Amino acid sequence: MAVPKRKMSRSNTRHRRSAWIAEAPKLVKTVENGKTVYSLPHRARVVEDSQGTPLFLEYKGRKVADA
């Protein structure tokens, strides 16, 4: 485990924490069965049947795992 060599001052600690900004996730727009769907890039998507039951996971058009 990394251990700091010197104590960081309260001012420096607070400045570092205040400079951090959370980013909104990058979404990719895809069209599935006439519906526009936004999803995270490079993630497998769940393929469902007509009742909405998950069947398997798909990535780049290939089945990668069972759901």
Residue 58 lies in a domain: yes
Residue 3 lies in a domain: no
DSSP symbols for 6-29:
SPPPHHHHHHHHHH--PPPPP-EE
Residue 12 lies in a domain: no
Q: Domain containing 28: what range?
A: 24-66
pLDDT at position 54 is 92
Nearest residue to 60 (alpha-carbon basis) of 47, 42, 46: 42
Q: What is the pLDDT of residues 7-66, one digit of tens each?
A: 999 999 999 889 989 999 999 998 877 889 898 999 988 888 889 899 999 998 899 998
pLDDT at position 31 is 84
Residue 55 lies in a domain: yes
Q: How many domains does the chain have?
A: 1
Would the pTM of this model clear 0.85, i.e. be above it? Answer: no
Residue 50 lies in a domain: yes
For 45, counting Cβ atoms within 10 Å of its Cβ (0-12 exposed, 13-18 middle, 19+ buried), the class is middle
